[in-house]
Amino acid sequence: MSPWATGRSSIAAIHRIARRVALCLSLIVVGLAFQSSQKGGSIAFGPQLIREGKLDEALEVFRQGVEAVPKSGLANTGAGVALDLLGRYPEARKYFSRAIKAASTPLEKAEAQRSMAISYGFARDCRGAEKYDRAAYEYFLATSDFLNAGEVADELGRLCLDAGDWNTAYAWYQRGHDAGLQEPNIPPDHRDLWDFRWAHARARIAVRRGKVEEARKYIATARAILSKGKIPTQEPYFPYLTGYVAFYAGDYRAALMELQNALQADPFIQCLIGQSYEMLGDKEKALEYYRKAASTTAHSVPAAFARPFARTKLE
């Protein structure tokens, strides 16, 4: 998990990822500070510079780190993140490729591959992302880590949906659902989680295909799963779903009303709100939300769509 990423797709996942991020950051500070002391650099400050939006400074810091320790996965990943956020995607992928090669364990390699997939997501390149997320997905399946296999498949489904490849998105969301359900002795709440995500994904894909009534049926399915009460942490993702469907069905007022109940810190939600205001003719409010989305410094699936899209709206 990249220290620049946001949470995945549930509140529980957010807490889990937050712990991993904290651990990653502590390891970065310790490991890179050691490298800095040995090589005279200062790349331990790179992640903080990225969070502060000082991307050019962060890039220079990470490049110095790569020069000092060419096989540093952390320095190469950091440079790739900074370049993606700067919109320099081909350059970014060179560094992610080096991070993949430098990985010392299969798990580190899988996480580096996920970062590369997100890099392709920034460029809306579903096929490029698929090459790397498929490898990570297969690693997690082979190690019987069905939770992470499902997470990776869903991430790729989202990247491909946002890139406009609805067929590939559907196939990977289905793989994510099926992988998650392979968990041995799966408890009812986990089953409901994967069923909810699958209904959520099918509704979004259906409305993008112009099948509004089909999308609404999946919304009803998602609502029924939530009403069982086993996955209350997924409730914030329901207005995201209803707002998304309303927007692509052309009901912008309904979309805005629903999206204002979704996760307001999510840059993708900020983009959808901005788009809704834009379609309603409120340019100033639209720009307000585009500015928020454009300012994200996360290297995550939602940011992969939101940051480049919002920046084009501000040009």
Q: Which of 138, 137, 139 is nearest to 155 (CA)?
A: 137
Q: In the predicted model, what is the mean pLDDT of residues 9-28? A: 42
- Kindly report, residue by residue over 51-95, the tens digit of the pLDDT: 999 999 999 999 999 999 999 999 999 999 999 999 999 999 999
Q: Which of 125, 138, 54 is nearest to 93 (CA)?
A: 125
- Kindly report, residue by residue over 214-271, the tens digit of the pLDDT: 999 999 999 999 999 999 999 999 999 999 999 999 999 999 999 999 999 999 999 9
Does this model's pTM top 0.85? My answer is yes
- Kindly report, residue by residue over 142-160, the tens digit of the pLDDT: 999 999 999 999 999 999 9
- Kindly report, residue by residue over 153-198, the tens digit of the pLDDT: 999 999 999 999 999 999 999 999 999 999 999 999 999 999 999 9
- Kindly report, residue by residue over 99-117, the tens digit of the pLDDT: 999 999 999 999 999 999 9
Q: How far apart are CA 84 and CA 115, in angstroms?
A: 11
46 and 61 Cβ atoms separated by less than 8 Å: yes
